[in-house]
């Protein structure tokens, strides 16, 4: 089982009937599903812990719990809206009472969101899903858009309550906590942060192509060899990489740091790195299309015209069946230089954010819409009781790596032995800080 804060709790009972499931999760890629499974507090693997699905439902499911919720995870066989739609339709036949379906995984992100620079690993939570590639395609980009708003009044209210400073800060804090836990999970060893020095945002108009001697690229045609080559192999110009403050700050810090054995200094720097590198959460409209967006200019045009902050392919397909929220972390900038390096890490961040979102939602949703999802942990308890039941964050042992970004900085190893518990206690446990903003 995972090393999560809930691991010491007694294992909850599995749900006996598929009608008891109210929260679904859909993942398009195996790496996304592995991250979500790793974020399960309990994973029901035995045959007698699973529920039977409807006749003819050929989906593959995983069953588990996240926080206080039972969740059923559906695995897609492939990427894309059609596949997502088919899987969601099947899922609906088996799980008629699903009230919220999270589409969790990776996306391409817009470089600037409301004047904030984004970095790979930053997460978007969809308040709207827009099918930007429905309808006519124009030379300047896609124009006709099909907007899919929040599918239920509960979700709309939840977003309105979430989109205020303190709840968002709390969500960030939960994300950080789950990310630190997941980072130590034995199945997340290849999901660690690849290093900010690989986070390259190129000038939007600068295309990833053979620089000379390739007639295909020179003719502006699709060049498979170029698409499959890395920026290093193609020698994409470093001076076309845009400078971002979050990264230059870190570079300067790392430089000033050098190698030091001064603990106090190291802790201060740790904090600075965490502040800069921890994934940020953005709420907004997500573009869901049937094609992969991999063009910097078109990305910016579509983002501007449609006011979208990220690009992905499955949200709209699931939305047509369930009240859906897309929770996806950036693995690229939806341009031609995109590569797979950050995909695992982004999958882990998305899973951590989905878990944080579910926890936040439990407090944010009015009425009992979500409380009936408590399932095996008994009848819905009062909000007060539930908050008291929150487990404090486990204390880390001295010397344990607790900074997910440590080891990514040249020649130094920041982040050893820092203890986050003091910060975490403010939010977890039964301190007055818990859920204060709801009072
Ligand atoms: Zn070429
Ligand atoms: Zn490139």
Distance 41 CA to ligand 2 centre (A): 39
Three-class SS of residue 25?
A: strand
| Of residues 359 and 315, more confidently modeled | 315
| Residue 154 domain flag | yes
- Tell me the CATH number at 380: 3.40.50.1580
In the reported structure, the alpha carbon of residue 237 is separated from the centroid of ligand 2 by a whole-number distance in angstroms of 8
Instruction: Give me ligand 2 centre to Cα 111, in Å.
Output: 16
Domain count, the chain: 1
**Assigned domain for 185 exists:** yes
Beta strands in 9-59 (DSSP E): 23-27, 42-44
Which residue segment(s) compose the domain that 157 sits in? Answer: 18-194+280-394
pLDDT of residue 79: 86
142 or 208: whose pLDDT is higher?
208
Question: How many CA atoms lie within 13 Å of 251's alpha carbon, on the beta-carbon side?
Answer: 10
**Cα 294 to ligand 2 centroid, rounded to whole Å:** 11
pLDDT of 430 > 50? The answer is no
User: Which ligand places an atom closest to the C-alpha of 225?
Assistant: 1
Q: For residue 222, which ligand has an atom nearest its CA?
A: 1
Residue 196's closest CA among 122, 104, 292, 297? 122
- Measure 109 CA to ligand 2 centroid, in angstroms: 17
Quote the ligand 2 centre to 209 CA distance (angstroms).
7
Task: Tell me the CA–centroid distance for residue 216 and ligand 1, in Å.
Answer: 5
What is the distance between the alpha carbons of residues 73 and 355, in angstroms, rounded to a whole number?
13
| Owner of token pair 């593959």 | 60
Task: Report pLDDT for 259.
Answer: 63
User: Which ligand has the nearest atom to the CA of 223?
Assistant: 1
Is there a domain that residue 249 lies in? Answer: no
Smallest-distance ligand from the CA of 211: 1
Is pLDDT at 412 greater than 70 in this prediction? Answer: no
pTM attached to this predicted model? 0.81
User: Among residues 285, 283, 299, 281, which one has the least CA distance to residue 338?
Assistant: 299
Q: How far is the CA of 337 from the centre of ligand 2 (A)?
A: 4
Cα 264 to Cα 282, 360, 415, 417, 418: the distances in Å are 32, 34, 11, 11, 10
Distance 232 CA to ligand 1 centre (A): 14
Ligand 1 centroid to residue 206 C-alpha, Å: 15
| Ligand of minimum distance to the alpha carbon of 215 | 1
Q: For ligand 1, a single-atom ion, which residues have Cβ within 5 Å?
A: 210, 214, 216-217, 223, 226
Q: How do residues 253-311 score in pLDDT, each as one tens digit? A: 777 766 666 777 767 766 766 767 789 999 999 999 988 999 999 999 999 999 999 99
pLDDT at 355 over 90: yes
pLDDT at 340 over 60: yes
Neighbours of 381 (CB within 10 A): 15
CA–CA distance, 270 with 225 (Å, rounded to integer)? 41
* Alpha carbon of 243 to ligand 2 centroid (Å): 16
Q: How confident is the model at residue 366 (pLDDT cuts 50, 70, 90)?
A: very low
SS3 433: coil
Closest CA to 148 of 327, 303, 320, 321: 320
Using pLDDT thresholds of 50, 70 and 90, give the confidence band for residue 418: very low
User: Does residue 82 form part of some domain?
Assistant: yes
How confident is the model at residue 82, as a pLDDT? Answer: 87
Give the other-Cβ count within 10 Å of 371's Cβ.
Answer: 17
Please check whether residue 33 lies inside any domain of the structure. yes
The alpha carbon of 201 and the centre of ligand 1 are apart by a number of angstroms equal to 21
Does any domain span residue 300? Answer: yes
DSSP state of 129: E
Q: How far is the CA of 231 from the centre of ligand 2 (A)?
A: 4
Which residue pairs from 192-196 have beta carbons closer than 8 angstroms and sit at least 24 positions apart in sequence? Answer: 192/345, 192/404, 193/121, 193/277, 193/345, 193/404, 193/405, 193/408, 194/341, 194/342, 194/345, 194/408, 195/408, 196/119, 196/247, 196/250, 196/277, 196/405, 196/408
In a domain, 4, yes or no: no
State how far the Cα of 412 lies from the Cα of 347, in Å rounded to an integer. Answer: 26
Ligand 2 center from residue 197 Cα (angstroms) = 15
Any domain includes 79: yes
pLDDT one-digit tens code per residue, 319-336: 989 999 999 999 999 999
How far apart, in whole angstroms, are the C-alpha atoms of residue 1 and residue 186? 9
């Amino acid at each position: 089982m995972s090393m999560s804060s809930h691991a010491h709790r007694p294992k909850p009972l599995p749900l006996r009937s598929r009608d008891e499931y109210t929260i679904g999760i859909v993942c398009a890629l195996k790496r996304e599903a592995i991250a979500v499974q790793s974020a399960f507090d309990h994973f029901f693997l035995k045959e007698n812990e699973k529920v039977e699905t409807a006749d003819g439902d050929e989906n593959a499911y995983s069953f588990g719990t996240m926080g206080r919720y039972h969740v059923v995870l559906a695995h897609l066989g492939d990427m894309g809206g059609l596949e997502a739609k088919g899987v969601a339709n099947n899922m609906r036949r088996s799980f008629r009472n699903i009230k919220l379906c999270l589409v969790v995984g990776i996306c391409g992100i817009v470089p600037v969101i409301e004047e904030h620079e984004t970095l790979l690993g930053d997460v978007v939570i969809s308040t709207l899903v827009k099918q930007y590639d429905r309808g006519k395609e124009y030379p300047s980009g896609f124009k006709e858009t099909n907007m899919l708003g929040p599918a239920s009044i509960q979700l709309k209210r939840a977003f309105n309550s979430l989109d205020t400073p303190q709840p968002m800060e709390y969500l960030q804090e939960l994300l950080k906590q789950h990310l630190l836990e997941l980072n130590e999970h034995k199945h997340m060893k290849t999901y660690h942060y690849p290093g900010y020095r690989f986070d390259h945002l190129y000038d939007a108009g600068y295309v990833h192509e053979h620089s000379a001697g390739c007639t295909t690229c020179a003719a502006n045609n699709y060049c498979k060899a170029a698409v499959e080559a890395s920026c290093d192999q193609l020698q994409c110009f470093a001076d076309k990489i845009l400078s971002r403050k979050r990264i230059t700050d870190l570079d300067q810090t790392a430089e000033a740091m050098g190698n030091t054995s001064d603990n106090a200094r190291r802790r201060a720097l740790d904090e600075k790195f965490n502040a800069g590198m921890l994934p940020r959460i953005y709420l907004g409209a997500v573009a869901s299309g049937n094609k992969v967006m991999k063009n910097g200019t078109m990305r910016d045009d579509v983002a501007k015209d449609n006011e979208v902050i990220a690009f992905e392919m499955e949200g709209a397909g699931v939305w047509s069946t369930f009240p859906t929220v897309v929770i996806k972390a950036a693995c690229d900038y939806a341009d031609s230089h995109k590569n797979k390096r950050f995909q695992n890490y982004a999958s882990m961040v998305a899973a951590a954010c989905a878990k944080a979102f579910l926890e936040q939602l439990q407090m944010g949703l009015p009425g009992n819409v979500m409380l009936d999802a408590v399932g095996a942990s008994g009848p819905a308890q009062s909000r007060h009781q539930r908050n008291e039941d929150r487990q404090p964050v486990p204390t880390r042992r001295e010397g344990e790596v607790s900074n997910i970004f440590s080891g990514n900085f040249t020649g130094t190893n920041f982040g050893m032995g820092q203890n986050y518990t003091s910060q975490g206690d403010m939010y977890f446990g039964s301190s007055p800080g818990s859920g204060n903003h709801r009072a």
